[in-house]
């Protein structure tokens, strides 16, 4: 300022030495983050040298000392910054005492240096908080990615079960009817016609269900979708299997109440898989299906009088257990009473269906199926 605004008469002129010492108190701040304690000492030493050796133009402002002290509070270890803070108090007192020796100036100087230290510590806290927020955001992103991958895996498993149930059931019935067809042609032509009709009906039903399943995988949400099979369709399924040979009976006991779309589809698929196993492996003559609406649980039993356990890959039985477990239920498979035949017994508790306390996956599945039903009805 003395080069721009003339100084008042009687005040000493600004010299290049004074400006050199002032610059010497500022330039070290460039390296303040590398060695904050050393830079603070250098800055204070340059200010003291200016104060005692140069009759400069007025009292130098302590901005450089405040910046350096702020950096010490921000970057130094606890022992260093606490030690420097303890030493700064008498240094400030001595500086004011050698200068104006005014109490107001002393309190002001102590206040601004304490504020510099507080802001340095506040910066550390804020930076730690931002790091914590960023880490939490990364963790949430990772969690969401894992959940998405798990959801995709569950969906793949669900589609695999659906495809297995649909194709296995349809192909098994068609094979049985096709094998019986040539024999019926020679002995009872009217039965052969019925067998071929059953083959075509089973094939058409399989095509409808496959088209429904593939429609779920399409990206075009505007395509019409059929509703998932429900318990009301079990008599039709029983009739188709009964036409393949074994005498199948279907009975409902207890006080019927709707278990929900997802559970109905699960029970339908379980019956479908159990009947498929009967047709393919059991060589049974009779099959009994019992659906009991108990007070605490919904129980489905499919029992036959065939050869009993054995044969098959076991994938269908695994799918039955997975379907039951998805609704908090259990599935038991094994020989029937007296070791004769094979029995599938599935139990699903009512509390999972009526209280709304099912898993998130189950609730989402039910919502999806309800939406598909509405879309199918509209189409």
DSSP 262: H
* Angstrom distance (rounded) from CA 62 to CA 105: 12
SS3 299: strand
Burial 289-322 (b: 16+ CB within 10 A, else e): bebeeeeebbbbbbbbbbebbeeeeeebbebbbb
| Cβ(45)–Cβ(82) below 8 Å | no
In this structure, of 25-29, 128-132, 179-183, the range with the lowest mean pLDDT score is: 179-183
Instruction: Give the integer Cα–Cα distance in Å for 226 and 221.
Output: 13
Q: Thinking of the domain 248-379, which architecture would CATH place it in?
A: 2-Layer Sandwich (3.30)
b/e 219-250 (16+ beta carbons within 10 angstroms → b): eeeeeebbbbbbbebbeebbebbebbbbebeb
Residue 35: pLDDT over 60: yes
The whole model's pTM is what? 0.45
Helix axes 315-326, 360-378, angle to 10 degrees: 100
pLDDT digits (tens, 9 = 90+) for 150-159: 888 887 777 7
> Is the pLDDT score of 99 beyond 50?
yes
**74 CB neighbour count, 10 Å cutoff:** 20
Mean pLDDT of 122-140: 92
Note whether 43 and 79 are within 8 A (CB): no
**C-beta of residue 305 within 8 angstroms of C-beta of residue 288:** no
CATH 3.30.565.10-classified regions of the chain: 248-379
Predicted confidence at residue 70, as pLDDT, reads 93
pLDDT band at residue 224, thresholds of 50, 70 and 90? very low
Q: How confident is the model at residue 129 (pLDDT cuts 50, 70, 90)?
A: very high
- Give Cα separations from 315 to 167, 319, 332 (angstroms): 13, 6, 15
Separation of alpha carbons 159 and 165, rounded Å: 10
Q: Provide the pLDDT for residue 315.
A: 67
First to last CA, the chain: 85
Q: What gap in Å lies between CA 267 and CA 291, rounded to an integer? A: 9
Q: How many CA atoms lie within 13 A of 181 on its CB side?
A: 15
What Rg do the C-alpha atoms of the chain give, in angstroms?
Answer: 43
Confidence of residue 36 (pLDDT cuts 50, 70, 90): very high
Find, among 194, 203, 145, 147, the residue nearest to 174 by Cα.
203
Q: Which residue would you say has higher pLDDT here, 369 or 201?
A: 201
């Amino acid at each position: 300022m003395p080069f721009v605004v003339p100084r008042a008469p009687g005040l000493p002129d600004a010299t290049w030495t004074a400006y050199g010492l002032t610059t010497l108190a500022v330039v070290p701040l460039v390296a303040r983050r590398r060695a904050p304690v050393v830079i603070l000492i250098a800055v204070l030493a340059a200010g003291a040298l200016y104060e005692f050796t140069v009759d400069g133009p007025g009292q130098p402002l302590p901005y450089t000392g405040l910046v350096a002290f702020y950096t010490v509070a921000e970057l130094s270890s606890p022992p260093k910054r606490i030690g420097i803070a303890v030493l700064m108090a008498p240094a400030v007192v001595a500086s004011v005492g050698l200068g104006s020796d005014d109490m107001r100036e002393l309190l002001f100087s102590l206040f601004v240096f304490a504020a510099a230290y507080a802001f340095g510590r506040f910066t550390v806290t804020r930076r730690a908080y931002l790091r914590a927020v960023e880490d939490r955001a990364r963790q949430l992103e990772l969690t969401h990615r894992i959940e998405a991958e798990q959801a995709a895996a569950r969906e793949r498993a669900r589609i695999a079960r659906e495809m297995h149930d649909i194709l296995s059931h349809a192909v098994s019935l068609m094979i049985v009817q096709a094998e019986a067809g040539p024999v019926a042609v020679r002995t009872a032509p009217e039965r052969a016609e019925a067998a071929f009709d059953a083959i075509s009906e089973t094939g058409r039903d399989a095509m409808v269900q496959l088209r429904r399943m593939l429609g779920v995988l399409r990206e075009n949400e505007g395509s019409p979708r059929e509703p998932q099979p429900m318990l009301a369709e079990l008599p039709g399924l029983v009739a188709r299997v009964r036409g393949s040979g074994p005498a199948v009976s279907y009975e409902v006991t207890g006080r019927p109440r709707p278990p929900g779309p997802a559970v109905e589809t699960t029970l339908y698929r379980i019956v479908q898989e159990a009947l498929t196993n009967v047709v393919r492996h059991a060589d049974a003559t009779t099959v009994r299906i019992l659906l009991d609406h108990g007070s605490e649980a919904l129980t489905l039993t499919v029992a036959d009088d065939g050869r009993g356990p054995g044969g098959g890959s076991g994938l269908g039985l695994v799918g039955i257990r997975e379907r039951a477990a998805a609704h908090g239920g259990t599935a038991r498979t094994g020989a029937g009473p007296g070791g004769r035949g094979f029995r599938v017994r599935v139990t699903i508790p009512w509390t999972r269906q009526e209280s709304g306390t099912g898993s998130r996956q189950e609730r989402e599945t039910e919502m999806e199926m309800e939406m598909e039903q509405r879309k199918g009805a509209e189409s």
